[in-house]
């Protein structure tokens, strides 16, 4: 319990300390005009109240990550608490905050466009393809999973027993309903659906975390393990070492590149730069707290970390089923319904904004204005078609594995963009540099270590190769920063 409480206190304190430091670092200007006041279009550039933007941002970035990822990542043991806490404070929240401010100061531009400004035209092209691909993948993952959860919860035998291409008719019906919602949320102005219903879903997400937190603190039935060493407690520690596997298993809740693709949506709705800390840094800290709570209950609910690993094996790694079990036992069947509702809402609200982000990314690099509904539809048709191809063509585990690595790779690139931005403004670059080096090493070593990729048996060689890639990236960035200095990048 002590480790958990200390980590919780550090996360809350960081918002008022390190968050304020970052505000001074980037030079927040309350007098600066924001994109929604200069570029209002009634579709994407629409001013919204700060509290509403905060809840939308929290829902956009949360998805299933701080719940599913935290439950599965807790299998590594109490070391997960440290990654969530320090990763969230110094990496994830800083990443989200500065990337959001950069977008805010570049007319709410999408991530590939801002990355192109500070990392060059070649990186802009790569990021356009990479980011759009990741958004479609995220949209597909967060379309299929809530559909599966709802279908399983309804459990209608007459429909469930009829299969079409491996998919039950019930699942296809639910999938279709969610898809219709996704299309509407992607096409309609941001204040029509997202701005109205997201705050409700946001409260559902917070309700889940608060409910579980109350059970942990005052229930008297569960004991949260303490951090005593960096021991890897996962069932197959040899195949899944803490570095880099924990760093990709728990992404949302610590650091996630997906967040930097969502920040431009809210950067186009903010009325003042002063809102940046609460919207970007605050939402990420909130997500870290949610992840911390779910990691704690996952370890405590089954007695200890060994019990959690046993449960993961028993339920085949289906985090949704495990969460349903936890909710029913800790909160009771009535409140458990709200938990499942919140889980489904988290997935849906990240899936629809993933497709919306993909639309904006494509519109930005193609130079297609988005006031006209017809032009928004032209862009969205191929995006949703590709998403459906992924759902029906790839198993969930494969989708999630690709997403995990692409997500953290995107975070590493975003951190290098932050380094270039801070260097240009003559600010302390260590804020971005240290996290950039860590995440570059994580993503590089993952290629050589993960059994889902190369899975090298010689771990020493795998880690050395990861270090070599990281060093090469650092050298390339040094030359790029010098080139930026010579060109006077703005």
pLDDT digit string, tens, across residues 290-328: 999 999 999 999 999 999 999 988 887 777 778 878 888
Cα separation values, 366 from 102, 113, 118, 239, Å: 21, 11, 20, 43
pLDDT of residue 160: 42
Say how many C-beta atoms besides its own lie within 10 A of residue 220's C-beta: 8
pLDDT of residue 162: 39
Does residue 374 fall inside a structural domain?
yes
pLDDT of residue 65: 75
Q: What percent of the chain has pLDDT over 70?
A: 92
In the chain, how many domains are there? 1
When mean pLDDT is compared over 143-152, 260-269, 322-331, 466-475, the highest value belongs to 466-475
DSSP state of 225: P
Q: 28-37, 365-374, 443-452: which range is least confident on average?
A: 365-374
Chain mean position to CA 385? 23
pLDDT band for position 102 (50/70/90)?
very high
Does residue 303 fall inside a structural domain?
yes
CATH number at residue 183: 1.20.1740.10
pLDDT of residue 371: 82
pLDDT of residue 170: 66
pLDDT of residue 226: 94
Does residue 51 fall inside a structural domain?
yes
Residue 485 has pLDDT above 70, yes or no: yes
Does residue 475 fall inside a structural domain?
no
Measured at the CA of 474, the angle between CA 267 and CA 262, to 5 degrees, comes to 20
Residue 382 has pLDDT above 80, yes or no: yes
pLDDT of residue 372: 85
Residue 369 has pLDDT above 90, yes or no: no
pTM for the structure as a whole:
0.88
Cα separation values, 6 from 2, 3, 81, 261, 289, Å: 6, 5, 10, 31, 12
Rounded to an integer, the average pLDDT of 342-371 is 81
Does residue 61 fall inside a structural domain?
yes
Per residue in 178-213, pLDDT (tens digit) is 888 888 888 888 777 777 777 777 777 777 788 889
DSSP state of 224: P
Residue 417 has pLDDT above 80, yes or no: yes
User: Bigger pLDDT: 119 or 164?
Assistant: 119
Does residue 122 fall inside a structural domain?
yes
pLDDT of residue 152: 62
Rounded to an integer, the average pLDDT of 226-242 is 90
pLDDT band for position 396 (50/70/90)?
low
Strands 163-164 and 167-168: antiparallel
Residue 159 has pLDDT above 50, yes or no: no
Q: 15-24, 167-176, 443-452: which range is least confident on average?
A: 167-176
Does residue 424 fall inside a structural domain?
no
What is the maximal distance between C-alpha atoms in the chain?
69
Rounded to an integer, the average pLDDT of 89-93 is 96
DSSP result, 374-415: HHHHHHHHHHHHHHHHHHHHS-HHHHHHHHHHHHHHHHHHHH
Does residue 68 fall inside a structural domain?
yes
Q: Which domain holds residue 103?
A: 2-399
**Closest among 111, 108, 109 to 126, alpha carbons compared:** 111
Say how many C-beta atoms besides its own lie within 10 A of residue 26's C-beta: 22
Phi/psi for 455 (5° steps) reads 55, 50
């Amino acid at each position: 319990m002590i480790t958990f409480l200390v980590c919780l206190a550090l996360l809350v304190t960081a918002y008022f300390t390190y968050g304020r430091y970052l505000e001074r670092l980037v030079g927040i200007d309350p007098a600066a005009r924001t994109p929604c006041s200069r570029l209002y279009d009634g579709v994407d550039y629409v001013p919204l109240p700060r509290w509403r933007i905060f809840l939308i941002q929290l829902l956009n970035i949360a998805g299933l990550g701080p719940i599913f990822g935290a439950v599965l990542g807790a299998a590594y043991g109490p070391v997960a608490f440290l990654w969530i806490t320090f990763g969230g404070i110094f990496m994830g929240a800083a990443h989200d905050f500065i990337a959001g401010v950069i977008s805010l100061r570049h007319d709410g531009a999408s991530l590939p466009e801002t990355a192109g400004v500070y990392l060059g035209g070649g990186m802009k092209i790569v990021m356009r393809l990479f980011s759009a691909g990741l958004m479609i993948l995220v949209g597909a993952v967060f379309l299929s999973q809530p559909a599966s959860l709802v279908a399983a919860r309804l459990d209608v035998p007459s429909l469930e027993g009829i299969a079409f291409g491996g998919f039950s008719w019930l699942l296809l019906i639910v999938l279709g309903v969610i898809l219709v919602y996704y299309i509407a949320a992607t096409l309609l102005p941001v204040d029509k659906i997202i701005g109205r219903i997201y705050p409700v879903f946001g409260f559902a997400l917070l309700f889940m975390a608060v409910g579980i937190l109350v059970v942990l603190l005052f229930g008297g039935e569960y004991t949260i393990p303490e951090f005593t060493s960096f021991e890897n407690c996962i069932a197959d520690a040899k195949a899944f070492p803490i570095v880099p596997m924990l760093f990709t298993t728990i992404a949302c809740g610590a650091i996630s590149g997906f967040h930097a693709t969502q920040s431009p949506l809210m950067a186009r709705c903010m009325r003042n730069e002063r809102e940046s800390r609460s919207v970007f840094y605050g939402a990420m800290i909130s997500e870290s707290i949610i992840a911390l709570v779910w990691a704690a209950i996952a370890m405590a609910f089954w007695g200890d970390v060994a019990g959690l690993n046993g449960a993961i094996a028993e339920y085949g790694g289906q985090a949704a089923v495990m969460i349903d079990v936890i909710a029913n036992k800790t909160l009771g069947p009535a409140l458990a319904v709200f938990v499942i509702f919140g889980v489904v809402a988290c997935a849906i609200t990240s899936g629809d904004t993933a497709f919306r982000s993909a639309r904006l990314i494509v519109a930005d690099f193609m130079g297609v204005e988005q006031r006209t509904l017809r032009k928004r539809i032209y862009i969205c048709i191929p995006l949703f078609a590709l998403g459906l191809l992924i759902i029906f063509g790839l198993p969930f585990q494969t989708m999630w594995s690709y997403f995990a690595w692409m997500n953290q790779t995107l975070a590493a690139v975003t951190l290098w963009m932050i380094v270039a931005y801070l260097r240009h403004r003559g600010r302390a670059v260590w804020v971005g540099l240290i996290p950039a080096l860590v995440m570059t090493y994580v993503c590089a070593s993952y290629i050589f270590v993960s059994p889902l990729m190369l899975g090298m048996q010689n771990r020493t060689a795998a880690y050395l190769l990861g270090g070599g890639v990281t060093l090469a990236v650092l050298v390339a960035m040094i030359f790029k920063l010098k080139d930026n200095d010579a060109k006077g990048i703005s």
